[in-house]
């Protein structure tokens, strides 16, 4: 009798603990959704305000030039990660070797993309028939490396539903980068104010993420760990690639057929 009573008490205690865990998880999910949703609204609003100010200070051709470069970088940037960061978020059991392997793989791919884009800057400029793009492409090529330095950290923030920290970091980086871009536009730097805005935002975001996150890569790497993430990551990669190609193809066509100012009018 006493044994049955003890078993009943144990089951009741387990139910209570399970209920507390579910309620805690729901609370974390709702909190994460609120921070993510409100952060996106604030970010879009701030981006809109900065874009209006820059549109008053810069020429349409400046926006056209940066759009011609960024559309190619956005498409090429998919290859720096091939969906492995998303796989880290999706996988239930993630070990330290998974995080470190993805981190070093992303660094390698980003470095390779930076070298390729720097080397092919002349060919890209010839394709667009605009030699002003050469230096722009070579400078912006460093953005691949900047983005790869925080991809694993961002995946950890998302996996842990820590959208509060991620939203704050993104907001601060975008605000400071936007302010720097506007100040340079006031000084007449033209398209380079947009370049500095892009790179400074990425750099500031890296500094804030590395300061906020406690995770640091270990000196380990495993191809086996990458293959365990590959099946899901590759599907994400293909989906993102198709999305980028079909959503940005019009920019490439306009940039090829018309002067940068025409593209700038459609994007500014």
Residue with more model confidence, 242 or 114: 114
Average pLDDT over residues 101-112: 93
Domain for residue 17, yes or no? no
Residues 6+ apart with CB under 8 A from 34: none
Residues 6+ apart with CB under 8 A from 152: 85, 88, 99, 102, 103, 106, 215, 217
The total domain count for the chain is 1
Domain for residue 22, yes or no? no
Least confident stretch, 14-23, 47-56, 91-100, 144-153: 14-23
Closest CA to 85 of 171, 25, 172, 149: 149
Domain for residue 186, yes or no? yes
pTM of the model: 0.81
Domain for residue 184, yes or no? yes
What are the pLDDT digits (tens) for 172-218?
999 999 999 999 999 988 889 999 999 999 999 999 999 999 999 99
Domain for residue 68, yes or no? yes
What are the pLDDT digits (tens) for 56-88?
888 888 888 888 888 888 878 777 788 888 888
Domain residues for the domain of 201 are 38-267
What sections of the chain are H helices per DSSP?
A: 2-57, 60-77, 84-90, 96-119, 121-128, 133-140, 143-148, 151-159, 163-186, 191-212, 223-257, 260-267
Domain for residue 111, yes or no? yes
Per the prediction, the chain carries an average pLDDT of 81
């Amino acid at each position: 009798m006493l044994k049955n009573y003890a078993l009943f008490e144990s089951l009741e205690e387990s139910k209570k603990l399970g209920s507390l865990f579910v309620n805690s998880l729901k609370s974390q999910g709702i909190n994460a959704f609120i921070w993510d949703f409100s952060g996106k609204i604030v970010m879009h609003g701030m981006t809109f305000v900065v874009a209006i100010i820059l549109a008053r200070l810069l020429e349409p051709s400046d926006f056209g030039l940066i759009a011609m470069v960024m559309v190619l970088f956005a498409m090429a940037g998919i290859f720096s990660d091939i969906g492995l960061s998303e796989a880290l978020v999706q996988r239930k059991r993630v070990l330290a070797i998974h995080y470190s392997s993805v981190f070093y793989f992303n660094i390698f791919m980003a470095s390779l993309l930076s070298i390729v884009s720097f080397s092919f800057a002349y060919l890209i400029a010839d394709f667009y028939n605009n030699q002003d793009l050469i230096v722009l492409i070579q400078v912006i090529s460093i953005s691949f490396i900047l983005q790869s330095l925080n991809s694993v950290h961002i995946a950890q923030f998302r996996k842990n539903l820590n959208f509060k920290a991620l939203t704050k970091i993104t907001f601060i980086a975008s605000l400071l980068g936007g302010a720097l871009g506007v100040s340079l536009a006031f000084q007449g730097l033209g398209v380079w104010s947009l370049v500095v805005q892009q790179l400074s935002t990425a750099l500031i975001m890296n500094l804030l993420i590395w300061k906020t996150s406690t995770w640091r890569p270990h000196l380990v790497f495993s191809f086996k760990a990458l293959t365990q993430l590959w099946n899901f990551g590759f599907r994400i990669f293909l989906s993102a690639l198709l999305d980028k190609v079909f959503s940005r193809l019009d920019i490439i066509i306009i940039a090829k057929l018309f002067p940068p100012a025409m593209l700038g009018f459609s994007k500014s």
